[in-house]
Chain A
């Protein structure tokens, strides 16, 4: 079933690769290259899932996560944090702020990440 996924990630190469892989699975992918745009699009597009990088221009991913989880229109959205930061402090903080899952990009193949996304969309 086709879902709407908001991908907040400043690396255009990843936007292209993961975005394309998700489109191949039949989903609609909305891109945001920074936190501010991500927050705006989350409110206007009401995606079924948010993929959120942490190291973003302008607003840090943790701020975006916090605002999404506090916003009336966005607090129930499942959020997968997709980052290269792997400190225990970062993982704990993301989960405390309400992230559904925390994935360190280099630890997973593309197929494994797609599987995690499929599980989150169920």
Chain B
């Protein structure tokens, strides 16, 4: 794994892509270029020195020229780092802008719709109810998308703190199944949970893990075809708790499986069954699980369903 990380660091085009910079502006490329030029310049200066040892002005001129060239490259590298720092600063500002400016109109809309639908300002006509429901649902969709984007930004900026406390993974799963009851019923799905009685509590960030379980359960229900069966299993393995959710849904085509945890990725059959969805859920899920010290994975066969699992350390 360490070797893989080292090779990734040496993969200059990949690193440049991550920073969103052209290769020639990318600090890694420029450092390699600078290193190459320094070595070449030193060797060149040596050979020129030995060749023109009787003409010191010529040597001085050539060395001055090489120094000038090195200075220019240094300036380009420093500018490149400045651009990276500026991009980072803008990303931090984006988080605070999103958290307030985008959410403000959404909460205004939400409460206005709530007030109208409560009937306190007058009875709503039967013909209007459906449209108010559409307003409310789409406002919620927007809110969820903004929340997801905000979490992704925080993950990338390493600005998502981990607040650990002791909690029962079984209890939060059961609570989520209960919260999802209307959705489960509407989707014609059966959900069963299997967990040993003496399953130990985990010491971790309860809210973030709750989000992980919610995302996996939501996906399992959403991509069911016809009569669905979802089985959740919780068990202690070694020093960890393993959570597994197995469904008999549409599954993930093999060609898409290596992209499944990428940002904004949605496999073709997911798009076919569910046009809604930001493609951020699994990216967030994986990032959270790994950040809190866990592991995540899945197996899937198109047409036969998927099994997603994660393991959390108990302490």
Q: Count of B residues near A, CB < 8 Å?
A: 20
Interface residues in chain B, defined as those with a beta carbon under 8 Å from any beta carbon in chain A = 99-100, 103-108, 110-112, 114-115, 118, 120-121, 143, 147, 161, 163
The answer to whether B161 and A17 have CB atoms under 8 Å apart is no
Q: A84-B100, A86-B99 are in contact. Are A109 and B106 (CB under 8 A)?
A: no
Q: Look across to chain A and name the residue whose beta carbon is closest to the beta carbon of B143.
A: A106
Interface string of A89-107 (1 = CB under 8 A from B): 0000000000000000110
Q: Compute how far the CA of A11 lies from the CA of B101 in the bound complex, rounded to whole angstroms.
A: 11
Q: Compute how far the CA of A1 lies from the CA of B109 in the bound complex, rounded to whole angstroms.
A: 29
Q: A105-B107, A106-B107 are in contact. Are A85 and B100 (CB under 8 A)?
A: yes
The answer to whether B111 and A85 have CB atoms under 8 Å apart is no
The answer to whether A21 and B99 have CB atoms under 8 Å apart is no
Q: Count of A residues near B, CB < 8 Å?
A: 21
In the assembled complex, the CB of B214 is this many whole angstroms from the nearest CB of chain A, namely: 15
The answer to whether B114 and A109 have CB atoms under 8 Å apart is yes
Q: Is A14 part of the binding interface, using a Cβ–Cβ cutoff of 8 Å?
A: yes
| 10 examples of A-B residue contacts, CB within 8 angstroms | A14-B108, A21-B111, A24-B120, A85-B99, A88-B163, A106-B103, A109-B110, A110-B115, A111-B118, A113-B111
The answer to whether A84 and B99 have CB atoms under 8 Å apart is yes
Residues from chain A with Cβ under 8 Å of B103 in the complex = 84, 105-106
Q: A106-B143, A110-B118 are in contact. Are A84 and B111 (CB under 8 A)?
A: no
Q: Compute how far the CA of A110 lies from the CA of B121 in the bound complex, rounded to whole angstroms.
A: 14
Residues from chain A with Cβ under 8 Å of B147 in the complex = 106
Q: Compute how far the CA of A67 lies from the CA of B271 in the bound complex, rounded to whole angstroms.
A: 53
The answer to whether A110 and B111 have CB atoms under 8 Å apart is yes
Q: Compute how far the CA of A11 lies from the CA of B112 in the bound complex, rounded to whole angstroms.
A: 13
Residues from chain B with Cβ under 8 Å of A13 in the complex = 105, 108, 112
In the assembled complex, the CB of B123 is this many whole angstroms from the nearest CB of chain A, namely: 15
In the assembled complex, the CB of B98 is this many whole angstroms from the nearest CB of chain A, namely: 10
Q: A24-B120, A88-B161, A106-B106 are in contact. Are A18 and B111 (CB under 8 A)?
A: yes
Q: Is A55 part of the binding interface, using a Cβ–Cβ cutoff of 8 Å?
A: yes
Interface string of A1-32 (1 = CB under 8 A from B): 00000000001011011101100100000000
Q: A88-B161, A106-B143 are in contact. Are A20 and B115 (CB under 8 A)?
A: yes
Residues from chain B with Cβ under 8 Å of A14 in the complex = 107-108, 111
In the assembled complex, the CB of A118 is this many whole angstroms from the nearest CB of chain B, namely: 15
Residues from chain A with Cβ under 8 Å of B115 in the complex = 17, 20-21, 110
In the assembled complex, the CB of B64 is this many whole angstroms from the nearest CB of chain A, namely: 53
Residues from chain B with Cβ under 8 Å of A84 in the complex = 99-100, 103-104, 107
Most central of B100, B114, B161 by chain A CB within 10 Å: B114
The answer to whether A17 and B108 have CB atoms under 8 Å apart is yes
The answer to whether A20 and B107 have CB atoms under 8 Å apart is no
Q: Look across to chain B and name the residue whose beta carbon is closest to the beta carbon of A14.
A: B108
Residues from chain B with Cβ under 8 Å of A21 in the complex = 111, 115, 120
In the assembled complex, the CB of A44 is this many whole angstroms from the nearest CB of chain B, namely: 28
Residues from chain B with Cβ under 8 Å of A86 in the complex = 99
Most central of A11, A85, A105, A113 by chain B CB within 10 Å: A105
Q: Compute how far the CA of A97 lies from the CA of B118 in the bound complex, rounded to whole angstroms.
A: 35
In the assembled complex, the CB of B166 is this many whole angstroms from the nearest CB of chain A, namely: 19
Q: A14-B108, A24-B120, A88-B161 are in contact. Are A110 and B143 (CB under 8 A)?
A: no
Q: Compute how far the CA of A44 lies from the CA of B100 in the bound complex, rounded to whole angstroms.
A: 30
Q: Look across to chain A and name the residue whose beta carbon is closest to the beta carbon of B146.
A: A106
Residues from chain B with Cβ under 8 Å of A111 in the complex = 114, 118
Q: Look across to chain A and name the residue whose beta carbon is closest to the beta carbon of B113.
A: A110
